[in-house]
Chain A
Amino acid sequence: MTDHTRADVCAAAIADAFADDGEIFASPMGLLPTIGARLAKLTSNPDLVVSDGESLWLASAPAIGRTGVVEGWIPFRKVFDIVNYGKRHVMMGATQVDRDGNQNISALGDFAQPTRQLLGSRGAPGNTVNNRTSYWVPRHSPRVFVEAVDVVCGVGPKRARTAGVAASKYNDIYRIVSNLAVFDVRGEGDTVRLLSLHPGVTLEEVVAATGFAFDVLRSASGEVATTREPTSEELHLIRDVLDPKGLRLREVPEPEKAAS
């Protein structure tokens, strides 16, 4: 019996994405990435620099929505300095991600007259050619994981290489974490590759929820890894310190239990 939720597994997987970053600016967009980055700061990577998502660098890793002691100032203009400086790992959302690790948050359909206008490219083009970039997908589906995105905002490794050395030298699409699994882009030809399935998720389930064929990292015996379960310390930090209101359960609801 386990007492953790899928959202807790996702938080720990996101924390793992920031574990080896050292002393850089972790820039998570949205709720679960924020919980995950702060969890990394409280466990695997105390040197991580985290912000309030607006203009302050926080000395500690407080609960969502809290500030605590401030250790620096990061107004938007300085964010661009840090992007160009490179000591940053951003975890963005993605309305679409494709097989080559390109991401779209701009618009769906034809750019000239979209069927659905989204945010715009935001900082995705600059992030992906300047600093480490990961994506978070709370609802893994074939509508998100598509063969080719409608508008390339976040630049995957193949596009970066084609664009030349200036685009590729700092391109580093590191992890794609969804509510089902963890991926990187080290598949054949720098394509999306499955690294681990969250506990209780089957490979068939992920294949069915993904709109393109992907490589799978397997052990010598042919096994697919299972995303690790959060430790009891992590569960305490997630539940009691970072997200006592349980907001994460709204972003990642518990999967329906299979009929027994």
Chain B
Amino acid sequence: MASKPRDKTVSIDEVVSRLSNGMTIGIGGWGPRRKPMALVRAICNSDLQDLTVVSWGGADVGLLARAGKIRKLVYAFVSLDSIPLEPNFQRARQHKLIPEVVELDEGMFHTGLRAAAERLPFLPARAGLGSDVLVNNSWIRTVASPYPDEDGAHEELVAVPALKLDVALVHLNRADAHGNAAYLGPDPYFDDLFARAADRTFLSVEQIVDTAELTGDTPVQRLLLSRIEVTGVVQTPNGAHFTSCVPDYERDEKFQKAYATAAAGTDEDWAAFHERFLAGTEDDYQAAVKAFHEEQA
């Protein structure tokens, strides 16, 4: 008798095949940190289109924008940290290549994910009041507290709408085949919230291990995702490259610089970068990155 939960191991291509045009996709990680880049690269190479992307933006947003995949973008910032401004995102915004943008405050973004994860239509927040976030997103409403404050005033707060996702894509350090997963770096970011805000969650990891191994040498507080939150697991070693995936690896600053230079350059510069690194499979990408570093050494 089988007593183990089911095996959710899938391939990158299977994940992409289970996405469809027009979907709302939440991407975990934070800026240039622990992004599910292997899955993002595969989406860029697919026929998918008209996506709504919800992300603490980094090069995931830049790559998807450059590939023309984004119909609507929900974000609070897009940054590469050591390179503050993301050139592909800048280009897309300045040429109006993303038809609809919803720029939120970070706290609103967090609140919106919490609302979706708790199956609430909205949650109240102070963040956003008085700012142009409410001017540029005039569909976002406020809500009055039914309870007066100590001065008798009824505070009018932002009713942050739930950021409901069709699919969440996240990348962690380790998982078992059932979807239990651990982050080993300094910050969980918001990957568990993304998972619960979504109907389905696909998880990529550096390494799939036995459940006993997953929990044997890692404090249980590092188990960010449980299998009830996960639909499929794909092993993608170096799958967050060129973002950081500490302690497995730091951000690849040299490669990020090459990416940003190509993105900020001419169409020919970008075409050359794309041809060398992005036109093939994930294995092709990893081999090209290896060759890039051998050249640089």
Contacts and interface: CB of A to CB of B under 8 A. Distances in A.
Interface residues of B, number: 44
A119 B94 contact: no
A207 B266 CA distance: 40
Given A54-B186, A151-B132, A121 B104 contact: yes
A223 B199 CA distance: 65
A125 B129 contact: yes
A140 to B, nearest CB: 20
Interface string B99-128: 000011111101000000000000001111
B155 interface: yes
B294 interface: no
A170 interface: yes
Interface string B136-157: 1000000000000101010111
Contact of B126 (A54, A113, A126, A159): A126
B189 interface: yes
A225 interface: no
A159 B130 contact: yes
A110 B43 CA distance: 31
A111 interface: yes
B126 A129 contact: yes
Name B's interface SS: loop
A120 B130 contact: no
A124 interface: yes
B107 A84 contact: yes
Interface stretch (B70-78, B173-181, B200-208): B70-78
Size class of the A contact interface (CB-based, 8 Å) = 35 or more
Given A111-B132, A114-B94, A126 B187 contact: no
A170 B76 contact: no
B74 to A, nearest CB: 11
Nearest to B129: A167
B131 interface: yes
Nearest to A171: B130
B75 A120 contact: yes
B96 A121 contact: no
Nearest to A106: B103
Interface of B: 30, 57, 75-79, 84-85, 89-90, 93-96, 103-108, 110, 125-133, 135-136, 149, 151, 153, 155-157, 186-190
Interface of A: 54-56, 75-77, 80, 83-84, 106-107, 111-126, 128-130, 151-155, 159-160, 162-167, 169-171
17 contacts: A75-B188, A112-B96, A117-B85, A119-B78, A119-B79, A121-B105, A121-B106, A122-B77, A125-B128, A126-B107, A128-B131, A129-B127, A154-B131, A160-B129, A166-B129, A166-B156, A167-B129
